[in-house]
Amino acid sequence: MTKEQFIQGISNGDIKTLSKAITLAESSIASKQELALQIIEHFGPQKNTFRIGITGSPGVGKSTFIEAVGSRMAGNKKEKIAVLSIDPSSAISQGSILGDKTRMNQLSSLENVYIRPSASGNQLGGIAKNTRMAMLLCEAAGYTTIIIESVGVGQSETEISKLTDLFVLLLNPGGGDELQGIKRGIMEMADIVVVNKHDGDQKRLAEITAKEYSLALHLKLKNKNSWTPKVLVSSSLYLTGIDSFLEKCSDFNNHIHDQWKKVVRKEQMKYWTKKNIEYLLMSKIDGYEEQINQDIDSGILPERSARNILE
Ligand SMILES: Nc1nc2c(ncn2[C@@H]2O[C@H](COP(=O)(O)OP(=O)(O)OP(=O)(O)O)[C@@H](O)[C@H]2O)c(=O)[nH]1
Ligand SMILES: [Mg+2]
């Protein structure tokens, strides 16, 4: 496909073309990535998009929650919703499988919803290095709400907050131990904390947990967006708490009015620029092998050799 064909297809909101463009962005072949980049550049930044990041321990219910929330959002036909689900297991299998793993069967059947599972590559459980490009491509195709699911374990767990406007942390009832596993900082970054599985035997426990978090968060009052973090309970199985979550999402979106969003996104772009420099330098390292060997044989100190190579 040519660049023009990609642009045409994405302008028409054609899902097959969008999927192919995301595959380009995820490719490890530089020329394919370059093409994806040019496509994104053609469209430029999209106004009025809302980016939601959802994270939490494996099995906490992220996908089921997104299915419930997304279906409700999609009831408004003017909304186009894209879900990028980062599948940690595919880091091992090197490929993502849509299957029932995503648990979003109902959502995926809706016309105004696009779901894309994405391999996290070598970044176990974190944001795939090209998730940002995938998100921009979805926005170019007219998706106004982007939901990103990522597992909140591993070193890059907080990266999702560098990618999105709203950062949501899902917790299990009685999830005190869970927070030990999740980096403490993640709690500070959350704009909305949802204690999930507020149903059956765990209902009471979920409420107690929510109260505890609420107290802990109120000591802090305001986070980076001078927004007071909210703590909610929900059950994706019984569809309770979904409406109040959506209400809070909308409050948050109003809170970070355009100007503010611009400032925050600019900060995020700084982060991703540095991150990309890092990726590009890392990908060059193998190419220096011969020079490194020569330098060592010539008795050049590693500290000097590295400087020479980069100059
Ligand atoms: N009781 C109850 N179970 C739930 C709820 N939400 C999800 N589950 C169950 O929890 C299990 C995990 O749900 P997922 O939505 O796949 O969880 P996840 O966080 O996306 O899991 P990973 O993507 O594998 O990390 C499933 O068996 C769900 O049926 C809920 O609100 N209440
Ligand atoms: Mg999931």
* Residue 65 maps to a domain: yes
Which atom of ligand 1 is closest in space to residue 236's alpha carbon? 31
Judge if 56 and 142 occupy the same domain.
yes
Query: Is there an atom of ligand 1 within 6 Å of 161 CB?
Result: no
Closest residue CA from atom 3 of ligand 1: 197
Tokens of 143: 């998706």
Is the same domain home to 262 and 234? Answer: no
Ligand 1 within 6 A of CB of 164: no
User: Which pTM value belongs to this model?
Assistant: 0.89
Using an 8 Å Cβ cutoff, are 216 and 193 in contact? no
Ligand 2 centroid from CA 61, angstroms = 7
Residue 138: what pLDDT?
A: 97
Among 257, 276, 299, give the residue marking a domain's end.
257
Residues of the chain with pLDDT under 70: 87-103, 119-128, 152-157, 175-185, 218-225
Domain ranges, residue 311: 258-311
Residue 76 lies in a domain: yes
**Which pLDDT does position 225 carry in this prediction?**
67
Shared domain check, 300 and 226:
no
> Residue 87: its pLDDT value, please?
66
Q: How far is CA 80 from CA 16, 67, 154, 272, in A?
A: 16, 14, 31, 25
13 found inside a domain: no
Task: Decide whether any atom of ligand 1 lies within 6 Å of the 61 Cβ.
Answer: yes
Whether residue 239 has its Cβ less than 6 Å from ligand 1:
no
Q: What is the distance in A from the centroid of ligand 1 to the CA of 145?
A: 22
Q: Residue whose CA is closest, atom 32 of ligand 1?
A: 197
Considering the domain architecture, whether residues 262 and 306 belong to the same structural domain is answered as yes
Whether residue 209 lies inside any domain: the answer is yes
Q: Is the CB of 63 under 6 A from ligand 1?
A: yes
The verdict on the CB of residue 45 being under 6 Å from ligand 1 is no
The last residue of one of the domains, among 257, 281, 299, is: 257
Residue whose tokens read 């979904």: 242
pLDDT at 226: 76
State the pLDDT at residue 190.
Answer: 86
Name the residue with tokens 């599972």: 117
Nearest alpha-carbon partner for 6 in 31, 37, 45, 27: 37
231, 210 contact by CB (below 8 A): yes
- What does the buried/exposed string (b/e) look like for 57-70 if buried means 16 or more CB atoms within 10 Å of the residue's CB? beebbbbbbbbbbb
- Residue 20 domain-assigned? no
The 10 Å CB-count burial string (b at 16+, else e) for 77-114 is: eeebbbbbbbbbbbbeeeebeeeeebbbeebeebebbb
At residue 94, the pLDDT reads: 39
244 part of a folded domain: yes
Query: Which residue, judged by its Cα, is nearest atom 25 of ligand 1?
Result: 58
Same domain, 234 and 285: no
CA neighbor of 54 nearest in space, from 67, 44, 43: 67
Domain count, the chain: 2
Same domain, yes or no: 252 and 265: no
Question: CB of 302 within 8 A of CB of 309?
Answer: no
Q: Do 283 and 244 belong together in one domain? A: no
- Please check whether residues 153 and 289 belong to one and the same domain: no
Tell me the pLDDT tens digit for each residue of 221-243.
566 667 888 999 999 999 999 99
Residues 168 and 292 in one domain: no
Buried b (16+ CB within 10 A) or exposed e, 172-182: bbebeebbeeb
In a domain, 177, yes or no: yes
* Helices and strands of the chain, counted as H and E runs: 14, 7
**CATH number of the domain encompassing residue 87:** 3.40.50.300
| 213 and 267 share one domain | no
Please tell me whether residues 100 and 218 are part of one structural domain.
Answer: yes
Mutate to test the pocket of ligand 1, among 54, 62, 63, 64 (most ligand atoms within 8 A of CB): 64
Residues 186 and 277 placed together within one structural domain of the fold: no
- Asked if the structure places residue 40 within a domain, the reply is no
